[in-house]
Amino acid sequence: MTSSTPLTTQHNEAPAHLPVMLTQVIDALAPKDGGIYIDGTFGAGGYSRALLEAAECTVWGIDRDPNAIAGGSALAQRHKGRLNLVMGRFGDMDRILSEKGVKAVDGITFDFGVSSMQIDQAERGFSFRFDGPLDMRMEGENADSPSAADVVNHTDEEDLANIIYMYGEERQSRRIAKAIVTARTGDPILRTGRLAEIVRGAMWKKPSKKGKSATDPATRTFQALRIHVNDELGEIDRGLVAAEKALSPGGQLA
């Protein structure tokens, strides 16, 4: 998951977020004047902004989240002609660049996972911290793929347990899957708050060690559903293959 710190911006831009590894990534990419760079997970634009300020280069910002692309419009206007925003998946980077007439790039950055901004938006359904619709799709409600609610309400018990175990490393996955299937028999599970309560109620309780805050029991299940719904591991595989094709000799991936 992307952790971030608020950053002051200019020209009516929305408050930016400074990625934790920003300095290391920019040092690794070593942006140069005239270079072409890909920010494969544009998000709040932290990496793109830093690249544009470090050199007179061109940046292509790719993101599957329409909110991220819309939020980057002020930054794109500020760096008109140098920042190009594209809504899409970084796994399709080679196709996107081909359509835009870009043959090779000098550097690519990825920041995998869900962002703190997405988690903080209850309506996106990524987090059990806020009650909201059980969605979790990076593309939002207009995506043509199943939502987390679809998965929770229509996947059979064994497959659901496998998803929770494989992507969440949850040892109590079978207990959780059984509880979900039992609960959905009455009413569909459509809210994050209800799912979280079902998961918590299904698990064996372990007393937390004194002085340590326990991780919420729903954490691993929510992570598993998010990864499954967005095919995050498959997307990473496709993104790395696409990056290898797109990088010019000596280009950097960070």
Q: Report in angstroms the alpha-carbon separations of 180 from 46, 65, 161, 223, 251.
A: 38, 28, 10, 16, 47
Helix H or strand E segment including 225: helix 219-229
Parse the chain into domains and list their residue ranges: 4-115+235-253, 139-229
Residue 213 is predicted with a pLDDT of 56
Single-letter residue type at 21? M
Q: For the whole model, what pTM was predicted?
A: 0.84
Residue 2 is predicted with a pLDDT of 46
For residues 236 and 108, is the Cβ–Cβ distance under 8 A?
A: no
CATH H-level, domain 4-115+235-253: superfamily: Vaccinia Virus protein VP39 (3.40.50.150)
Q: What is the CATH number of domain 139-229?
A: 1.10.150.170
Single-letter residue type at 87? M
Q: Is 100 helix (H, G, I), strand (E, B) or coil?
A: coil
Could you list the mean pLDDT of each consecutive 10-residue stretch along the chain, which spans 254 residues? Answer: 43 59 94 97 93 97 93 93 95 95 96 75 80 91 86 98 98 98 96 96 73 80 96 96 96 95
Residue 18 is predicted with a pLDDT of 76
Residue 31 is predicted with a pLDDT of 97
- CA dihedral of residues 38, 1, 119, 156 (deg, nearest 10): 110
Residue 215 is predicted with a pLDDT of 85
Single-letter residue type at 223? Q
Say how many C-beta atoms besides its own lie within 10 A of residue 161's C-beta. Answer: 21
Q: HSE on the CB side for 54, CA within 13 Å?
A: 21
Which is nearest to 39 in space by CA: 138, 109, 105, 103?
A: 109
Residue 204 is predicted with a pLDDT of 85
Ranges of beta strands (E only) in the chain are 4-7, 16-19, 36-39, 58-63, 83-87, 105-109, 247-253
Q: Is 151 helix (H, G, I), strand (E, B) or coil?
A: helix
Single-letter residue type at 8? T
Q: Which residues, other chains included, contact 48 with Cβ-Cβ below 8 Å and sequence gap of 6+?
A: 39, 42, 59, 61, 72, 75, 83
Q: Report in angstroms the alpha-carbon separations of 77 from 11, 37, 71, 73, 110.
A: 9, 18, 11, 6, 23
DSSP single-letter state for residue 17:
E
Residue 7 is predicted with a pLDDT of 43
